[in-house]
Chain A
Amino acid sequence: MNLTTEQELIELLKNKKEKYYRIAFTYVKNRDDALDIVHNAVVKALQKIHTLKNREYLETWFYRILINESVTFIRKNKNILFFDELSNFNPTVEQIDEEQHITLYSAIDKLSPKLKTVIIFRFFEELKLEEIAEITATNLSTVKARLYKALKLLKIELEDVDYDR
């Protein structure tokens, strides 16, 4: 079957919509907002599909739109100070104790969108760091730096995770 890029995009959107919803949801933690974000990302993707030069990057390209929509949404709607933006963050003993029990999933809520993106795609979507660099339009060392920073903030021991893969 010889699909046009646009048809390929539509197929992709229909087949993987649940995955895109999960990603959006992880950013905003609200069902209706996540639906709005998916909606806007899909509309934008179809409007801009003619600007995509290399079909190979179709999904990467869509991830980028989805993340942009999510991050823009958070900036516009929330007035939150993130964990890693507090320069003198100094957790108290109780907080540390509590953090040992929380899962990575709930912990990442405290991360800024940039750090959150790296965690979502590396650990939940299991993408390679190179792919994350592609999606976020940064280079590999930036992605690595963000990943280490995020993990440090989350105080998570990930010795058994090969995150350099």
Chain B
Amino acid sequence: MIDKSKYNNIEIPDELDHVVNDAIFEGMRTQRKKKPFFVLKRLGTVMAVFVLFSITLLNVSPVFAQVAYNIPILGDLCRIVTIREYHFEDEIKYIDVKIPEITSTGKSDLENRLNLEIQKKINECIKTHEEVAKDYFEAYVKTGGNPDEFNPIGITVDYEIKSCNENYASFVIYCYETAFTAYNEEIYYNVDLERGRIITLKDWFGNDYKEIVADNIEKTIAEWSEEQKEVLWDDLEIIDLITENTDFYINDEGQIVIAFPKYEIAYGAAGAFEFVIKK
């Protein structure tokens, strides 16, 4: 008779729940269908219609953009807009790109520099992913796959505004593909709109930023259950991971949130981690 007991007794890891939820979220986020602007979530319908209308116009009409800047509400709300959106597809890939740009800050030097950099980063990212898709396709055909049945690889560039007001803008650009999550990239930008420069952890917390941030994260981890802690690397030293280049964003409540990518502090299957730094 068939002995199924071994199969039925396969141990289910504690992280499975987390992994599935995380994947559901990632899958929903990377769906190809059109998503609403993130900014709209917090606004009433009437306001939303106005903003949607305005953002569209900001993208097409420099005159309107000039005028809009003088309307305090819109000026305060956010100065990050989509300047270009395009879709491209062929037999091996489909690409969806949404490029953000920071506008009307009154600091044109900063804007130019930043927007050029964003454009450059996005181009690099798309190029890398295109090469991966091409390699993958070639490997697929070489190993006997039928080119007509190849499932095109999706490459998506999108962005999310984390917070934005008259003082600062915090946003993240996502560049990912459907085939290999290992190549996914998230680029964080935190811009001081008053001073016209990039915000660093040092600007925010002062010279002792490493200690402050690391202590804060360690306190949060200390509150975790043993099971949660198990996914962390054994030789994890948070303080070594806090540098000028550590990814972070500023949330709606004006708090710094440190974003560790997958594999940075824990097993890959546990996903990425975020820590709110309480001042």
Contact = CB atoms under 8 A, between A and B. Distances in A.
Given A44-B178, A47-B154, A160-B1, A35 B30 contact: no
Interface in B1-25: 1-4, 6-8, 10-13, 15-17, 19-24
B33 interface: yes
Interface residues of A, number: 36
Contact of A47 (B2, B3, B19, B30): B30
A35 B154 contact: no
Contacts of A36: 268-269
B47 interface: no
Interface centre among B7, B13, B21, B268 (most CB of A within 10 A): B7
B90 interface: no
A45 interface: yes
B24 A10 contact: yes
A42 interface: yes
B106 interface: no
B150 to A, nearest CB: 13
A18 B12 contact: yes
A43 B6 contact: no
Contacts of A26: 7, 10
Q: Report whether over half of chain A's contact residues are helix, strand or loop; otherwise say mixed.
A: helix
A45 to B, nearest CB: 7
B19 A123 contact: no
A50 B8 CA distance: 33
A42 B2 contact: no
Given A26-B10, A36-B269, A104-B2, A44 B27 contact: yes
B28 interface: yes
A2 to B, nearest CB: 19
B183 interface: no
Contacts of B21: 14
Contacts of B32: 47, 50
Nearest to A108: B7
Contacts of B24: 10, 13-14, 42, 46
B27 A14 contact: no
14 contacts: A21-B10, A31-B13, A36-B269, A39-B271, A40-B181, A43-B178, A43-B181, A44-B27, A47-B154, A50-B33, A105-B3, A105-B4, A124-B7, A160-B1
Interface of B: 1-4, 6-8, 10-13, 15-17, 19-24, 26-28, 30-33, 143, 154, 178, 181, 267-269, 271
Given A13-B24, A32-B268, A32-B269, 13 more contacts: A6-B28, A21-B16, A26-B7, A26-B10, A31-B11, A35-B269, A38-B16, A47-B27, A103-B6, A105-B3, A105-B6, A124-B4, A158-B2
